[in-house]
A and B are shown apart, each in its own frame.
Chain A
Amino acid sequence: MKAGSHLETILEKGLFAVTGELGPPKGNNLEVIKKKVDLLRGYVDAVNVTDNQTAIVRMSSIAASSHLVRMGLEPVMQMVTRDRNRIAIQSDIFGATSLGIKNMLCLTGDHHTFGNQVDAKNVHDLDSVQLIDCVRTLRDKGTLLGGEEKIDGEIKLFIGAAENPFGDPFEFRAIRLGKKVAAGVNFIQTQCIYDMNRFKEWMKMVRDRGLHEKVHILAGVTPLKSGGMARYMAKNVSGIIIPDEIIDRIVKAPKPAEEGIKFCVEQIQELKEIEGVHGVHIMAIEWEQMISRITEMAGLLPRPNVD
């Protein structure tokens, strides 16, 4: 065990993991976190706490993750390289682990021009692969990046990262995952899957490289709330592919939100059967109240008690 987190224990025992997502408030309103925690607790094994996602300023992922620890819901602290250089990154990791955070997701982050601080200077001192290597160095060597200086204390983190099978160049995506594995990643969460054929094709490339035996892959899903949302995402979000027949299915359904949930559940059931998929990452964005239903309908409850 690298960090002894709940999520790591589930995955190491070969159980099918379920993670959720929690976006911190656009301010310091702790009630937002409490409400979301209540909607997620008991239905997922751990929850990603986003780090200023889409470059919108929010409560820091470290502080929000620390609140989750206190509230008894295990966080996966996201960290993006967009806003921090390696001094801040390593310092924040010291702080985060001191607050009881045991899982960390290494990301580059959405470009700042998508957010509400478009005049910002972006950092990108490290990229996500280099960040993984940095965290592994802190944890396994006990030294700072690029040096022999010993850390005072022990860094125990279960290291995660993202991969997007729907980004291009498609053939590069499994190679890139291989780099993350070589850099020391322990688990991967994918971008939301709608194009199951392409996901399966990617998983085949992953298996051909033997990567599924070296890293836990959690397949990402996001329930579609409406036909409008499906159309919008398909058209405007780079790196997301929603096949026309799925958009049609949601658009034509008498109750699109119900259909979205049903489709999400079907996807989870299909994903469970794919060799190398060790869990699902359910991103019910601002729709956290649906997590209980989705997990129940998909037969993912009760969540195992392994601690």
Chain B
Amino acid sequence: MIKAELKPIDEILTCLDPYNKILLVGCGACVTVCHAGGEKEVGLLASGLRMARKKMGKMIEVEEATTARQCEPEFAMEVTGTVEKVEAVLSIACGVGVQTLARHFSKTPILPGVNTTFIGETTAHGVWEERCQACGNCILEKTGGICPVARCAKQLFNGPCGGSSKGKCEIKRETDCAWQLIYDRLKALGQLYRLEEIIPAKRWGVESRDSGPRRIVREDLKV
């Protein structure tokens, strides 16, 4: 799922400086799971903002809401009534949620309260790790279900660089070397032969974000 982290409170306060009445809106999907922008975080942040502004001698009125899935217009639109009554909206959904609101509420500034960081997995309580870059052409069948595009610091397709040492990446010692994981997994699967295959240059410019913003159209689902 999409992972995000709350922005530093000072940065949020700077953003909110011109406004005295805002709507703080969270999202019930991904950012709830990673404890960055769900209903609980909306409550905590709202209190924090009120206190901080009170201390600054510049009270702020904060309306609170949490949409089920902010990236889907039918849910995002549920806050229409409140949006019309405030000067700005602070969204702590991911960047998609912020943009869904911005697309629908043309007259109200929509401000981001979190930094959207990556598509990842929960590896321990309170720990999330990047797993997918949405690169547009999955090769996990070749790499034992471990993605070198997302998990190798150099996005190498044909094996580890010289900096792989004792299972770790030289960039960050707490990070596993993706190619060590791939090697171990293929070995366990009895598929080491897969390592012999040269994976050709990826078509970044056609299949990934480098082609421009991507779009999926399903004719069978359109109404």
Contacts and interface: CB of A to CB of B under 8 A. Distances in A.
Interface residues of B, number: 30
B166 interface: yes
A163 B162 CA distance: 7
Contacts, number: 98
Classify the interface of chain B: helix, strand, loop or mixed.
loop
B165 A145 contact: no
B179 interface: yes
Nearest to A126: B201
Nearest to B161: A108
Given A126-B201, A179-B198, A239-B165, A172 B160 contact: yes
B141 to A, nearest CB: 18
Interface stretch (B48-56, B115-123, B149-157): B149-157
A113 interface: yes
Given A108-B154, A111-B171, A122-B154, A169 B179 contact: yes
A163 B183 CA distance: 17
A140 interface: no
A176 B180 CA distance: 13
Interface of A: 82, 86, 108, 110-111, 113, 122, 124-130, 133-134, 145-146, 162-164, 166-169, 171-172, 175-176, 178-179, 182-183, 191, 238-239
22 contacts: A108-B154, A111-B153, A111-B163, A111-B171, A125-B201, A126-B201, A127-B156, A128-B156, A129-B157, A130-B158, A133-B201, A162-B162, A167-B161, A168-B160, A168-B166, A169-B160, A169-B180, A171-B183, A175-B159, A175-B195, A182-B198, A238-B164
A133 B200 contact: yes
A127 B157 CA distance: 7
A172 B187 CA distance: 11
Given A124-B154, A168-B180, A175-B195, A130 B159 contact: no
B75 interface: no
